[in-house]
Amino acid sequence: MKRKAIHPEKNIPLRNSTEWVFQFWAWQLLAWSLYRYFFRFPEPVDEFIVKPVVFILPVFWFVLRIEKRSLGTIGITSKKIISSILIGCGFGLLFAGEAILANVFKYGSLTLTPAPAVLLYGVPMMAILSLATSISEELLSRGFFFSRLFEASKDLIQSVIMSTLLFVAFHVPILLTSLRFQGTTLILFFITSFVLGLTNSLIFHKTKSLVAPILIHFFWNMTVAVFL
């Protein structure tokens, strides 16, 4: 008797548990933290080589080889791309405005405070670096962590909050080793990062695409680099 084929997406016990998501996150955070602590390479090396190796390749391997699913399940899709671009630009400008208001709150008036990387590489190169950062972090945090947490728990609010906390935690190594924010700047950074994570998780849930979250993250990165 001919056996009935089993669709790979319907034969994955991992989809019923969130424990493996946190284990996956912990190993990646450990790898990223060790790298940030022991090595000091130029930002292009971090964004174009190290982050893709630490953040993206393990996700691709897990989705394609372990889950045996398509990359569309982590938001890599061209569906509704125009509306996603419009949403991304719209919310991205709102986040840029948020960072500018934070700058005014901190300094009493609008004050340019470009990050060292902006002064070193210039605005065009910084924009490319910011886009690379946005792609890596959104694919990992929203495309993978949020989608798998929600898939297993079926609890939208819990998944949004937990994936956002995981996202914010990934910024701790760079805060301790590179940016060294203190006082008001550190508080504002955590607040804006948390709001960004919440917003992008909800938008990803709505659009099922990484396009809008990446654009929002890009606008936020650039504004923080210049104003925060």
The residues spanned by each domain of the chain are 17-227
Q: How far apart are CA 188 and CA 48, in angstroms?
A: 27
Q: The pTM is what?
A: 0.87
Percent of the chain predicted with pLDDT > 70: 90
Residue 46 burial (C-beta neighbours within 10 Å; 0-12, 13-18, 19+): buried
Whether the predicted pLDDT of 104 surpasses 90? no
* 8 Å CB contact between 114 and 182: no
Instruction: Provide the pLDDT for residue 160.
Output: 97
202-207 contacts at long range (C-beta below 8 A, 24 or more positions apart): 202/160, 203/87, 203/91, 204/75, 204/138, 204/142, 204/143, 204/146, 204/147, 205/146, 205/150, 205/156, 205/160, 207/80, 207/83, 207/84, 207/87
Instruction: Provide the pLDDT for residue 8.
Output: 44
Instruction: Provide the pLDDT for residue 225.
Output: 79
Instruction: Check residues 146 and 5 and name the one with the higher pLDDT.
Output: 146
Query: 13-44 burial, b if ≥16 CB within 10 A, otherwise e?
Result: eeeeebeebeebbeebbeebbebbeeeeeebe
Q: Which strand (E) or helix (H) includes residue 132?
A: helix 123-138
For tokens 């699913």, name the residue. 69
pLDDT tens readout for residues 162-203: 999 999 998 887 776 666 667 777 787 788 889 999 999 999
How large is the average pLDDT for residues 70-99?
A: 92
Residue-averaged pLDDT of the chain? 87
What is the residue-wise DSSP string for 61-75?
A: HIIIIII---GGGGT
Whether the predicted pLDDT of 40 surpasses 90? no
Within 10 angstroms of residue 92's Cβ, the number of other Cβ atoms is 23
Whether the predicted pLDDT of 5 surpasses 50? no
